Structure 1
Amino acid sequence: MKIGLLSDTHKKIEYSQTVIDHLVAEGAEFLIHCGDIVKEEMLQQLKKSGKRYLAVYGNNDPHLAEVHNRYNLVQEPHYFKLAGTKFKLMHLPFYMSADAEVILFGHTHTFECDFKNGALFLNPGEACARSKPVSECAMLEVREEAFIVTQYSRRVEETQFHARHFTFEREEQ
């Protein structure tokens, strides 16, 4: 299963739409937003993508509680199963124990991808291009034998995303 990941969109609706369109074009079957959504329009973009999705509140999202019931929006840390894999989703990197197979987070505005203690720790970076002039997202392909992570980055003045790939062997269950 291919899972499209984005985080820290903040107020950059045009960048978030570009990221969603790219992830869908690359085959994402499910979309996950790792927080700091900021604008309801971002949630509307996820909903209109035609893909199943999940989004977690970030530290800049308390006002979105007013529209909570309209979207698939959860509190952190949120545990769920997808593609036979246990996930933990959060925005703030405070719950970093390896108590799931995949730990997804945001907040730092920096792409991170590491496999330790039998778990994949993954931050898709910032979609908003606030800390640097680069919009980022990631694709996580869950296979029985491995996790394949693709980091996508695009300078804001460019139209093409550049890809880097990482493969991590899964531990036997």
Structure 2
Amino acid sequence: MKIGIIGDSHDNIKKLDEAINFLKEIDIDMLLHTGDFISPFTIPHLKPFGEHLIGVYGNNDGWRHILSKKVNEIGGVLNAESFILKPKGVPIFLTHGHRDLLLDSAINSGLFHIVVYGHTHRREVRKENGTLIINPGELCGYLTGNSTLAILDLNTMKVLFHIL
């Protein structure tokens, strides 16, 4: 099972469309968004993954009720600052990462095989206390100059980064 991971898109439609096209090409099974979509007008661009989309709010996401409504309209889920999912029985904790205590608690809880977060705009993959920690970096490219995403192979637990 391949999971695409994006975040911190910050209304950059051009890079969002590039990411969606790339993720369609590699045929991912699920798409996670770590938050900071920003505006509701970005959501229709995620429609190709609609029912396979799970997202969380970021600290810059306004109009949360409208964002959630738009994501629900395309078949996805967006309704919290964190989300627990278990694809193929593998417990994953998804959050934006701007609440340090929440992020640290998830990492150190021993409850999750994988913790996915964003917020820092820096891509990262590491293991801590047996937990695989993934940050896809920033899709927008505004802070680092690189628009990045991650692909997690759930069968091998390998993470690859892609620069758009």
Would you say same fold, with TM above 0.5? yes
Count residues in correspondence: 152
Could you tell me the percent identity over the aligned residues? 30
Structure 2 Cα separation of the partners of residues 132 and 152 of structure 1: 14
Structure 2 stretches lacking a partner, 5+ long:
72-76
Structure 2 Cα separation of the partners of residues 134 and 40 of structure 1: 23
Larger RCO: 1 or 2 (CA < 8 Å, sep 6+) = 2
Structure 2 Cα separation of the partners of residues 124 and 67 of structure 1: 21
Note if 1:26 corresponds to 2:26. Answer: yes
Structure 2 Cα separation of the partners of residues 126 and 67 of structure 1: 19
4+ residue segments displaced more than 4 Å: none
CA contact (8 A) 1:31 1:46 kept: no
* Correspondence list, 1:159-170, <5 A: none
* Correspondence list, 1:51-90, <5 A: 52-71=52-71, 72-90=77-95
Instruction: Name 1:125's counterpart in structure 2.
Output: 137
Counterpart of 1:149, as a letter, is V
Note if 1:153 corresponds to 2:159. Answer: no
Structure 2 Cα separation of the partners of residues 50 and 109 of structure 1: 24
Counterpart of 2:158, as a letter, is I
Q: Is the strand fraction higher in 1 or 2?
A: 1
Q: Taking structure 1 as reference, are residues 48 and 64 closer, same or farther at Cα in structure 2, changes over 3 Å only?
A: farther
How many Å apart are 1:50 and its aligned residue? 5.6
CA contact (8 A) 1:103 1:119 kept: yes
CA contact (8 A) 1:111 1:123 kept: yes
Q: Which moved more, 1:101-110 or 1:88-97?
A: 88-97
Question: What is the Cα-based RMSD across aligned positions, in Å?
Answer: 1.6
* Correspondence list, 1:2-17, <5 A: 2-17=2-17
Structure 2 Cα separation of the partners of residues 67 and 138 of structure 1: 23
Structure 1 stretches lacking a partner, 5+ long:
155-173
Q: Is the helix fraction higher in 1 or 2?
A: 2
How many Å apart are 1:77 and its aligned residue? 2.2
CA contact (8 A) 1:8 1:109 kept: yes
| TM-score, reference length from structure 1 | 0.81
